[in-house]
Chain A
Amino acid sequence: MLEAAELECERGARMLFRGVSFVLLAGELLRVAGANGSGKTSLLRILCGLAWPSAGEVRWKGQPIDGLREDYARELVYIGHAPAVKDDLTPRENLEISCRLAGQSTGMEALAAALERLGVPELPVRKLSQGQRRRAALARLLVSETPLWLLDEPFAALDAEGISILNGLMGKQVDRGGAVVYTTHQDAGVRNTRVLDLGAGA
């Protein structure tokens, strides 16, 4: 499904990584590992099309993602470092808006159920803790039907219960033929994960 060919990333004059290639098949998990500053986030941003590699190409089902734009965006969920929830809205409003922006029309009950499953209270996000914000953002995954998930540090700020819920979600995604790429410093013990190590960083 997702293919990276000889990706190279430069930030300023610094070479972050070079010659990163992999093929991700349906039903596969890929963990991007590496030290701080080794370019894990940059790689993920390149994979979802937010940033461009200085050389190389990302292909989705054989086609370069540059030409696909929205068609590719519709196939993926990207959850970045920032939780992408608005402080002044409630988790349900946030979830509803992000689903609609992604062109997904999920029913209200499903949204409410997803948030309930993650135990996120229906308060303005401003009043939630870091972990609860994270959960509010991850609720996207519960209602998502897209084949590709790109998750940047999804386990950050989560407690043990949150981690096990997320592990379950990623397992389910893989079981139904989806693919997941995620970054993390520590091995969170997700089963059957392939590892792509970016090394110690520059």
Chain B
Amino acid sequence: MLAVARTLVHRDLLLALRRRSDVATALLFFVIVASLFPLGIGAEPNLLRAIAPGVIWVAALLSSMLSLGRLFAADYADGTLEQMLLGAAPLGVVVTAKGLAHWLVSGLPLVAIAPLIALQYDLAPGLYGVLALSLLLGTPVLSLIGAIGAALTLGLRGGGVLLALLVLPLYVPVLILGAGSVEMAAAGLEPDGQLLLLGALLVLAAAFSPWATAAALRITME
């Protein structure tokens, strides 16, 4: 079972490596969206500092969603998804492995690049750690929740927009807790509470999302 999971993660990373442009698109999208706000709002350091956590988190949400469409769509189109449904491992394991690979190529780079974006907003250097940590805990939740939506909208016409409508409302708790933790830290308070809640969300999502995604896949693949 673990061997199957390892094979899948390895496969998806290899595919991402062969299709680097796909990964780069989502990452560049994040950078550009997050960079538009300082340009639009103008050089107002206090204002920028205040909106930084929220803007960075919203940009992360959108960028993570942008890459969700690819989570199952390519495998669906070439028939490899059918083979995964008929694989030796339970479908829950398969979708967990795919979710993990998706996070490694779409979520983890955001964590690494976020401090650079924060620099544009003149966020205090002391907050970079909290920002990165909140993203580290929050972005896997985005991948896990998004997987359910991606499975449900598989093969639908206009599935991309529907996916956004379906998934974005579910991202709200992650956004509130993620951005809130950085704002707390900026106000000089302990962000532990928010971060712990984010961690709890991650555990919850890791426990239930694979099961829901697998059920959704079985329905859409029929």
Contacts and interface: CB of A to CB of B under 8 A. Distances in A.
Contact of A87 (B8, B78, B82): B78
Contacts of B18: 88-89, 124
Interface string A82-107: 11111111000100011011111100
B15 A84 contact: no
Interface in B46-87: 74, 77-80, 82-87
A16 to B, nearest CB: 14
Interface string A130-163: 0000000000000000000000000000000000
B25 interface: no
Nearest to A76: B86
A17 interface: no
Nearest to A88: B18
Nearest to B83: A84
B87 A102 contact: yes
A51 interface: yes
B87 A101 contact: yes
B15 A102 contact: no
B79 A83 contact: yes
B6 to A, nearest CB: 9
A73 interface: yes
Nearest to B3: A100
B79 A82 contact: yes
Contacts of B79: 80-84
